[in-house]
Amino acid sequence: MSFSPIFCHCFRKLVNLSCGCFSQFRVGTYEDIGSIVSSMIARATLIKRLHPIMESMLAAVIGLMIGAVIMLGYGYNPVAAYGSLFQGSFGSLYSWAESLANATPLILTALTFAVAMRGGLFNIGAEGQLYVGALAAVAVSLIHLPSPIHIVMALCAAMLAGMLWSLPIALLKLTRGVHEVISTIMFNWIAYFLALYVIAHVLTDPLRGEKTISIVETSRLARIVLGTTLNYGLLIAIIAAVAVLFVLWRTTVGFELRVSGHTSVAARYAGISHRRQILTVLLMGGATAGLAGAVQVMGRPPTYAVLSGLPQLINLGFDGIGVAMIGRNHPIGIIVAAIFFGGLMAGGRVMQFSPGVPLELVRVVEGVIIVTLAVPELRNMLGSFRRQFAKKKVYDGS
C-alpha cells in the first residue's frame, strides 16, 4: 500500500522529466484513488511517448527508401550509398565524433526556436543572433586573460551579444506590436551585413583580410577526439539544453511560460503572449543562439575565426528550426534530433567518396526524409494538447 504512491511519484517524475505536457499534475496529493488513476495514465503516457519516437523512425525509414529510389533512378547504388551514410555518421569513432560536432551548434539554435515556441512566439532570428555571438567571442580575444577565465568571458560576451540582438525583437513587439516573423527576418539580414562590415573593417586579421583575428589560444575550446572536429562545445550545448529543461520544467517562471504558451495553441502565431514571457523567451533564445556562434568559432577547427561570407555559420539558425520541430521543442528531443541531423551531414560527406553520390543528391534525400518526418509529428502533439485543454477546463472550470 505504501509502495504504490512512491512508485507513482517516481514514475510520474520520470514522465515529467521526459515530456513536458504533464505539468497539470500537482506533485503532492497522492493518497487516494487519484494516485492509482494517475499512475495508470502516467504509464499509458510513457508508452504513448515512446510510440511517436517509433513513428518518427518509421518516417525516417520511408524517407530513406524514397531516397533510395531516387538514387537508383540516377544510377547510384543505394545500398552502397546508405552504407556509406551510416559508416560516415555512426560507423566509427571518427564518424560519431563528427556527427556530434555537427550536432553541437544545432542543439543551441534549436533551443532558441523551441524556447520561443513554448512561450507562444515564432523566433526565427537565430541566424542573426549567432552571427553577433560569434563576433563577440572573437572580440574578447582582443584582451588577454588566462585560459578558463578567457573562455568564460568569451561565452558570456557571446550570450550577451545574442541577447542584445534579440532584445529589439522583443521591444518592437511589446511597444509597436511588430510580429516577430518579420522583425527576425529583417534582423537576420542586418546582422549579416553588419558582420561582413566587422570582418572587413573592424576585427580584421591584418595578415589575412578575409577573416577576423583568430580566437586566441587561451580562449579556444579543446578537442575531445583528436583528428576530428569534436570539441568541448558539445558539453556547453548539453549544459545549455539541461539548463533550459530545468528552467522551463522546474521553475515557476518556466511553468507559467509554458502554460501561457499553450493557453491558446493557435494564439502562438497570432502573438498573444504576456510581456515578461516575451522578453524571457526571446532573451533566452538570443543567449543560446549567441552561444551557438561562439561555440562554432571557439571550438571548431581549423580556423578559429569568422571568415568573410560567414561560411561556418550560415544556415545553422534555419537548420535549428528543423531540429527543434523534429525534437518536438523539447531539450531531450532536440539533442536526439540534432545528433540525427548531424549524422546526416557527416554521413553525407562520406557518401561523396563512395559510391560518389554528389552532395546535391544527399540534400535531396535529406529533404525527403524531413518531409516524411512532418507527417506523424503533429498527430500526437495535437492529441496531447486536446487532452490538455479538456483537463484544464475541468480543473479550473474555465
Q: Which of residues 219-258 bind other proteins (CB under 8 A)?
A: 227-229
Q: Looking at 17-25, 32-40, 234-242, 367-375, which segment touches other proteins (CB under 8 A)?
A: 367-375
The SS3 assignment for 204 reads: strand
- Taking the least distance from each CB to other proteins, the nearer of 135 and 350 is 350
Question: Which residues are CB-neighbours of 47 under 8 A, at least 6 positions away?
Answer: none
Examine residue 311 and tell whether it contacts other proteins (CB under 8 A).
yes
Examine residue 24 and tell whether it contacts other proteins (CB under 8 A).
no
Minimum Å distance from CB 390 to other proteins?
11
C-alpha grid cell for residue 199?
570582418
- Taking the least distance from each CB to other proteins, the nearer of 33 and 142 is 142
When binding is defined by CB under 8 A, the residue of 41, 160, 181, 225 that contacts other proteins is: 181
Measure the CA–CA gap between 266 and 330, rounded to whole angstroms.
19
Examine residue 152 and tell whether it contacts other proteins (CB under 8 A).
no
319 within 8 A of 113, measured Cβ to Cβ: no
Element (H, E) at 20: none
DSSP structural state of residue 352: T
User: Residues binding other proteins: what is the number (CB under 8 A)?
Assistant: 108
When binding is defined by CB under 8 A, the residue of 7, 246, 269, 395 that contacts other proteins is: 269
Examine residue 209 and tell whether it contacts other proteins (CB under 8 A).
yes
Helices (H), 177-311: 180-197, 233-250, 252-263, 267-270, 275-299
User: How many alpha carbons lie under 13 Å from residue 322 in its C-beta half-sphere?
Assistant: 20
Residues from 318 through 357 that contact other proteins (CB under 8 A): 318, 321-322, 325-326, 345-346, 348-350, 352-354, 356
Q: Kindly tell me the burial class for residue 314, based on how many C-beta atoms sit within 10 Å of its own C-beta (0-12, 13-18, 19 or more).
A: middle
C-alpha grid cell for residue 373?
518526418
Minimum Å distance from CB 328 to other proteins?
9
Task: Break the chain down into helix, strand, coil percent, rounded to 5.
Answer: 75, 0, 25
DSSP assignment string, 354-377: TT---HHHHHHHHHHHHHHHHHHH
CA 289 from chain center: how many Å? Answer: 9
When binding is defined by CB under 8 A, the residue of 358, 391, 394, 395 that contacts other proteins is: 358
Examine residue 302 and tell whether it contacts other proteins (CB under 8 A).
yes
Task: Provide the mask over 103-142, with x wherever binding to other proteins is found by CB under 8 A and - wherever it is not.
Answer: ----------------------------------------
Examine residue 389 and tell whether it contacts other proteins (CB under 8 A).
no
Examine residue 361 and tell whether it contacts other proteins (CB under 8 A).
yes
Q: Looking at 87-95, 215-223, 241-249, 283-291, which segment touches other proteins (CB under 8 A)?
A: 87-95
Residues from 56 through 75 that contact other proteins (CB under 8 A): 57-58, 60-61, 74
When binding is defined by CB under 8 A, the residue of 2, 28, 142, 176 that contacts other proteins is: 176
